[in-house]
């Protein structure tokens, strides 16, 4: 197992030097925090990651959850992890004090989740789902329900889940058919089946709390008739916990992320399943989307974290493994083998991984910062501005570290050659683990439709305009440095290319030609991601350049900053030029994937 799975120095750089976490403490909501408290939380996360998660990473894959007699057994480290996270108050750390949280900024929470996820991505699903489910309760449920569920969920003794998907309704939530019928007690009788429910049952929690979407009898069709319910595995009756007729009917055998069971449950088979309405009737999908946005950022972060772990595992190998001779070796026959890190192609694979994992992490932190500013800013205009920026970035934050993280981990595996394909090293597990990230919480196809179909056009393109201003500000800053000027100009050109594509596509939407508008949304996502991640890299390079010029860093510190600038150059040289090919396609009018040509696929 590789020794290192993330870089504390890089995390410090992003958190403090690039995103200036301390600035957030000027906002009333975060006023009790300071850099010392942030560092304490991060240190606590590292302890849990080092002591519980990382040592169990491979074991939890090898010994996957077992279903027997409708009960699921998981690796015992899950219990230790949930307890440690509960004890440290880290499951609901971003919640308000009133709801049992610490009002920790999302920006810092991202740093925490990144460490945990790089150590053992699957395990973080347990706490991530509890946090997300709990937040729905915190945001929309009555005080009575909050008091009943939140303390146990945040303590890690009860497990939260998201009950969305049904056998016939995956991405298409409007087709949900689970039903709910009001009873005299105020509870609802729930009937239905849910599939792919992660952490949906296991023996390390005393109760499982499914935040479940269902239709109240007589509700409108489609998305407007869906309500949100708390459906526990055990319900309280006369002070005792009784079985609530939620049966674990199956477990999925997955390619990776085996540490977390994904299950199929049947609720109300004996007509004895009760659920409690969260918030108002028929508002369920709207509520759920709040959690889904958070979850989407979480999935993107998971992609960046796995890519980070793979990067360090392959970097370690590349430093240690001798193989072949350097291209510049004059007397190859008599020279000793060189370390593979000296081969340009290995270096390319390493730099690509670094660019994707650190660029992806930066992007996720940017989104988290927008979330903080949108939640806690004092004035309405700022709140709205940052909300729009967050809303626009969310599908990119979900998609880039997932799609490119898969590539990145695959390159990590390739660095190890045949060994990368074997279980002697963690790369093949990471490759299996990360593959889920383009599917969880809305596939890349769904995210791309969301980005182009909704986010680009919302409020007449206001969010895009705001993002362009943010990017322009970075471009302006970069022009002040001779060494960065060239990259600043490139990015400005690329921004123009993006605008050109948008101006080409949006008129189709205005004419109602949604098929022409959205057919290649996936390529638009690639184009936008390249530009947004390049912006993040230029931002990191500016901070590094400033530090070199003003702090006179030496040794490792100087190398750290130089490496940031170098990786930015690498991304601009090897990745950013791909915008040309995507733009070529997006500006072409010969659409080849439209639905009238079914017969053309054999």
Nearer to a second copy, 132 or 420 (CB): 420
Q: Which ranges constitute the DSSP H helices of 270-343?
A: 284-320
Q: Which one of the spans 185-193, 272-280, 342-350, 369-377 is the region binding a second copy (CB under 8 A)?
A: 342-350
CA distance 602 to 599: 7
Of 113, 259, 449, 545, the one binding a second copy (CB under 8 A) is 449
Q: Which one of the spans 133-141, 387-395, 477-485, 512-520 is the region binding a second copy (CB under 8 A)?
A: 512-520
Is residue 422 close enough to count as binding a second copy by CB under 8 A? yes
Smallest distance from the beta carbon of 166 to a second copy, in angstroms? 11
Is residue 589 close enough to count as binding a second copy by CB under 8 A? no
| Dihedral over alpha carbons 448, 451, 454, 460 (to 10 degrees) | -140
CA distance 252 to 426: 22
User: What is the sign of the dihedral through the CA atoms of 236, 240, 244 and 247?
Assistant: positive
Is residue 500 close enough to count as binding a second copy by CB under 8 A? no
Is residue 221 close enough to count as binding a second copy by CB under 8 A? yes
> What are 117's two structure tokens?
């996820």
Is residue 526 close enough to count as binding a second copy by CB under 8 A? no
Is residue 168 close enough to count as binding a second copy by CB under 8 A? yes
Burial of residue 425 (CB within 10 Å: 0-12, 13-18, 19+) is buried
The footprint of a second copy on residues 298-317 (CB under 8 A) is 315
Smallest distance from the beta carbon of 75 to a second copy, in angstroms? 19
Catalytic machinery residues: 441
| Residue 149, CA distances (Å) to 181, 186, 231 in order | 22, 17, 11
Smallest distance from the beta carbon of 115 to a second copy, in angstroms? 17
Q: Which one of the spans 47-55, 129-137, 235-243, 558-566 is the region binding a second copy (CB under 8 A)?
A: 558-566
The footprint of a second copy on residues 30-69 (CB under 8 A) is none
Number of other CB atoms surrounding residue 476 within 10 Å: 11
440-443 long-range contacts, Cβ below 8 Å, gap at least 24?
440/295, 440/299, 441/292, 441/295, 441/296, 441/298, 441/299, 441/398, 442/171, 442/292, 442/296, 442/398, 443/171
Q: What letters, b where the CB count within 10 A reaches 16 and e where it falls short, cover 50-65?
A: eebbbebbeebbeebb
The footprint of a second copy on residues 454-493 (CB under 8 A) is none
Of 68, 238, 333, 550, the one binding a second copy (CB under 8 A) is 333
Nearer to a second copy, 327 or 480 (CB): 327
Is residue 207 close enough to count as binding a second copy by CB under 8 A? no
Q: Which one of the spans 79-87, 136-144, 166-174, 270-278 is the region binding a second copy (CB under 8 A)?
A: 166-174
Of 130, 212, 394, 448, the one binding a second copy (CB under 8 A) is 448
Smallest distance from the beta carbon of 466 to a second copy, in angstroms? 27
Which of 344, 408, 348, 307 is CA-nearest to residue 573? 348
For the chain, the straight-line distance linking the first and the last C-alpha, in angstroms and rounded, comes to 45
Task: Write each residue from 242 to 261 as x if it is in contact with a second copy (CB under 8 A), else as -, in one continuous string.
Answer: ----------xxxxx-----
């Amino acid at each position: 197992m590789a020794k290192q799975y993330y870089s504390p120095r890089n995390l410090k750089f992003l958190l403090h030097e690039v995103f200036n976490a301390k600035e957030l403490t000027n906002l009333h909501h975060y006023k009790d925090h300071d850099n010392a408290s942030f560092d304490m939380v991060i240190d606590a996360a590292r302890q849990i990651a080092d002591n519980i998660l990382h040592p169990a990473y491979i074991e939890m894959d090898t010994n996957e959850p077992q279903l027997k007699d409708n009960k699921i057994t998981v690796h015992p480290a899950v219990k230790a992890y949930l307890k440690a996270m509960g004890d440290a108050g880290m499951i609901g750390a971003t919640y308000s004090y009133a709801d049992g949280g610490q009002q920790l900024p999302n920006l810092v929470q991202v740093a925490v989740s990144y460490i945990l996820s790089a150590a053992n991505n699957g395990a973080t699903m347990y706490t991530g789902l509890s946090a997300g489910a709990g937040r729905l309760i915190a945001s929309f449920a009555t005080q009575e329900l909050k008091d009943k569920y939140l303390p146990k969920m945040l303590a890690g003794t009860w497990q939260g889940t998201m009950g969305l998907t049904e056998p016939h309704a995956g991405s298409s939530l409007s087709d949900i058919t689970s039903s709910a019928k009001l009873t005299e007690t105020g509870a609802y009788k729930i009937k239905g089946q849910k599939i792919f429910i992660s952490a949906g049952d296991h023996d390390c929690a005393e109760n499982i709390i499914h935040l479940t979407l269902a239709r109240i009898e007589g509700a409108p069709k489609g998305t407007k008739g869906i309500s949100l319910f708390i459906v526990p595995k055990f319900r309280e009756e006369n002070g005792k916990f009784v079985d609530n007729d939620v049966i674990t009917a199956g477990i999925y055998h997955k390619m990776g992320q085996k540490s977390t069971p994904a299950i199929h449950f049947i609720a109300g088979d004996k007509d004895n399943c009760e659920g409690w309405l969260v918030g108002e009737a028929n508002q369920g999908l709207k509520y759920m989307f709040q959690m889904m946005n958070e979850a989407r950022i979480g999935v993107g972060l998971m992609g960046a974290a796995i890519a980070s772990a793979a990067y360090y595992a392959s970097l370690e190998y590349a430093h240690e493994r001798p193989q072949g001779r350097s291209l510049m070796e004059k007397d190859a026959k008599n020279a000793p083998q060189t370390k593979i890190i000296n081969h340009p192609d290995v270096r390319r694979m390493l730099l690509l991984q670094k660019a994707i994992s650190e660029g992806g992490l930066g992007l996720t932190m940017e989104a988290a910062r927008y979330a903080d500013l949108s939640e806690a800013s004092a004035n309405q205009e700022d709140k709205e501005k940052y909300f729009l920026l967050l809303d626009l970035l969310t599908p990119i934050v979900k998609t880039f570290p997932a799609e490119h993280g898969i590539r990145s981990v695959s390159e990590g595996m390739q660095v190890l050659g045949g060994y990368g394909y074997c279980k002697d090293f963690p790369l093949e597990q990471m490759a299996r683990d990360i593959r889920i990230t383009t599917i969880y919480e809305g596939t890349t196809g769904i995210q791309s439709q969301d980005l182009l179909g909704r986010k680009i056009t919302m409020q007449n393109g206001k969010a895009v305009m705001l993002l362009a201003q943010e990017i322009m500000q970075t471009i302006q800053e970069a022009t002040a440095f001779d060494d960065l000027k060239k990259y600043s100009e490139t990015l400005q050109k690329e921004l123009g290319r993006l605008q050109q594509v948008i101006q080409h596509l949006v008129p189709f939407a205005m004419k109602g030609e949604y098929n022409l508008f959205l057919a290649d949304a996936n390529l638009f996502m690639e184009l936008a991601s390249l530009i947004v991640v390049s912006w993040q890299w230029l931002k990191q390079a500016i901070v590094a350049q400033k530090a070199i010029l003003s702090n006179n860093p030496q040794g490792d510190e100087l190398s750290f900053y130089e490496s940031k600038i170098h990786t930015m150059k690498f991304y601009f040289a090897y990745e950013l030029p791909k915008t040309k090919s995507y733009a070529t396609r997006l500006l072409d009018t010969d659409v080849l994937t439209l639905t009238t040509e079914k017969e053309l696929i054999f």
